[in-house]
Amino acid sequence: MRRLLIAGNWKMNASMTTSSALLSELVNADISTCDVAVFPPFPYLALAAESLRASSVRFGAQDCSDELSGAYTGEVSAAMLRDVGASMVLVGHSERRQRHHETDALVLKKAQQILAEDMTAVVCVGETLAQRQAGLAEKTVTEQLSLLLSQLSLVQWQRVVIAYEPVWAIGTGETASPEQAQSMHAHIRQLLGQVSVALAEQTRILYGGSVKSASAAELFAQPDIDGALVGGASLDAAEFLAICQS
């Protein structure tokens, strides 16, 4: 049985004060029934490291460089994230694919840097509304995963989590129905199964896109949904904890 992973992506919506308050609420909560991780903005990672030192809540970064080190002004390497205690990194979020034109090849390079540092890569995939309406949702997600499936070893895959995030559901208040989400998750698991049965069984596939406490339980009841990547609702401690308790 894959343990549920609830991951909170704070995006660029936090300050020192709000980060500190959210982290202390998480530290004081009883969330032992699932794995929980938060993804604060870079400047607050050291604060997360300090606050979560004695907690089972893990923390990670929202992105990293595809390069190891060197003259890349403004970038943050996977090694630096590991250095501050991060154990997970998001990669390929649709906001980065869209705003920064990140390609599947770049997403693969970033994932390789993360895995080389023994951290977990949470790889985001998902179709736009236009792609879904054109009947291209599964094809889009298949293409987004194909390089990862062909290039990463089975050992590397042990530290990869997939987050299916339909772009039309992110930050819109419109959650995919449990059936829509389950259907795509089953498709993703079938792609993993083409590489190996063990890969399909072990890989956690999270759903992301306007998850709230009201929708979480029904999503988590689906056989192929192994948790959630939560944006907006992860900024409200009570709401995030209610999702964790679902």
Which of 126, 166, 209, 227 is close enough to bind ligand PEP by CB under 6 A?
209
Strands 58-61 and 35-39: parallel
Residue 216 interacts with ligand PEP (CB under 6 A): yes or no: no
Which of 3, 15, 171, 238 is close enough to bind ligand PEP by CB under 6 A?
171
Which tokens belong to 31? 């969330």
Residue 174 interacts with ligand PEP (CB under 6 A): yes or no: no
Residue 102 interacts with ligand PEP (CB under 6 A): yes or no: no
Residue 100 interacts with ligand PEP (CB under 6 A): yes or no: no
Q: Please name the amino acid found at residue 158.
A: Q
Nearest to 224 by CA among 192, 246, 93, 146: 192
Backbone angles phi, psi at 198, to 5 degrees: -60, -40
Measured in whole angstroms, the distance separating CA 207 from the mean position of its chain's CA atoms is: 9
Which of 165, 224, 226, 239 is close enough to bind ligand PEP by CB under 6 A?
165
| Beta carbon nearer to ligand PEP, 48 or 166 | 166
Question: Smallest distance, Å, CB 153 to ligand PEP?
Answer: 27
Site string for ligand PEP, 1-20 (x = CB under 6 A): --------x-x---------
Residue 215 interacts with ligand PEP (CB under 6 A): yes or no: no
Residues designated as active site: 93, 165
Site residues for ligand PEP per CB under 6 A: 9, 11, 165, 170-171, 208-211, 229-233
